[in-house]
Structure 1
Amino acid sequence: MAIRVASAVVLAALALGATIFSPWTFLILVMAGGVIVAWEWGRLTRGNGFDGTAVVAGVSVAAIAVFVSLGRPDFALFVFTAACIAIGLTAATGRAGWSLAGLAYAALPAFALVWLRGDPALGAAAVLYLFAVAWTTDTASYAAGRLIGGPKLAPRISPKKTWSGFIIGALAPALVGYAFAVALKGTSPWRLALVSVALALACQMGDLVESWVKRRFGAKDMSQMIPGHGGLLDRIDGLLFAAILAALIALRDPANPGRGLLIW
């Protein structure tokens, strides 16, 4: 447990520091994370051998993040399309679908996160809010599952997850949204609380999807990169889905995505 807590503290410090310091440090964080996610996905779906499609995905994710940070989403879309074609043509027989899913799994959240952070006024606040929702969802789900227990949510996919953990994990982030709204001012606390619940549900979905994929390939963890946690994907599976939903919500104000997510 001590190792698990220490790893979580280090990861949180890196994420918060990179987010707050500047858009460029956050870009580096997202690029590194995207490459690792692509590698872990390829490692799981292809085994421990060399996976050329994972290399294509990793390089593409890094390029997509850079182009989004430079305000060129059109170039990012071109890279994503080219990567899809390259992976579709070179993937092993029967594995093209899994390889393309890995590209989307890494690229779409990277696009969303860098785009949100790029808002000069509320970008950092939007990303910190998203982190807070994801971390609260994970913590509340785990705590409720351990303390309350009860019926299993999806025993064939994730035997430890319970309905109590799912419900508490979905509702607890409403407090995060309310608190952020009070701190920001100029936005509706109740509406941001409801947005937080929607993002929490996306987190739960991401967690279940990753659990299903691991069970499909007979793996307990995506890798052993993070002591006490497994792989990076094991830590941020929910955040990836929440980031995509957050970006879709932020389209309310495409020129100011942070505002589009936070101001209601």
Structure 2
Amino acid sequence: IQSITETRELSEEEKLAEGRGIEYEYWMDKSHDGLGRDYGYRHNGSPDEIFVFLNFGNASSHFDTPAYLDTTVNRVRVPIRFVSEMMGAQVSWDQDNRRVTIYFPAVSREVMKAVPAPGYDYPDLIHPETHLPDPYRFRLEKRTVSMPERTIVLTVDHPVAVVDGREVPLDAPPVIRNDRTMVPVRFIAEQMGAKVYWVGANPIFRLADGTLSGSYQVHIFTPFFPLFEYPSWYLENRAVRY
């Protein structure tokens, strides 16, 4: 039996959608330079080794001390220098006073944002299988994202931070672990304008063979992420925003 396959050229609408999808992924990768793309599908961590992702870049691979779940306060702690520097901050350490200062300079950057096409809303954009926005349902729009200058001072074992000269209570103080200052990830990331999602012991990804994967993870999204307003279908619907 002879079969004939006819190759059809893409329509103009299909070409535009395909290009839009490729451009979205380009801007997604630009939002976490140097980390490589990693959605966390196959990463199963543990309370002693939490996987941390920044704008779908694998941040944990750059840690010299793993993030962990501090069960005494039920908070994920991360090495402050690595996370802060990945988000564009400068970090200094005062050994005598056991104090860390994080300086986040004012930043203004032009980025491409994925916004819903007419007739759609943000929840409509994400394809439930690819976890990427459907290129027929969004358009790309250039926007200027600005973040203010900020200085954060943290003292080891002290439950109060100083943010731009103002005292802010912490739900868990910084601690030293393996000669590294470890801080609650939510506080430091949100002070820099980011969103944080926590994935606990229950996995959230369904793999091709039907099994589930992806546990003990933290996902951080900065305002420079092209879909910061609604970063991910599976995170918005299954992970815990905290």
TM-score of the superposed pair, with normalisation by structure 2: 0.27
For the pair shown, the structure with the greater C-alpha radius of gyration is 2
TM-score of the superposed pair, with normalisation by structure 1: 0.26
More helix by share: 1
More strand by share: 2
Task: Kindly indicate whether structure 1 or structure 2 has the higher relative contact order, using CA contacts under 8 Å at least 6 residues apart.
Answer: 2
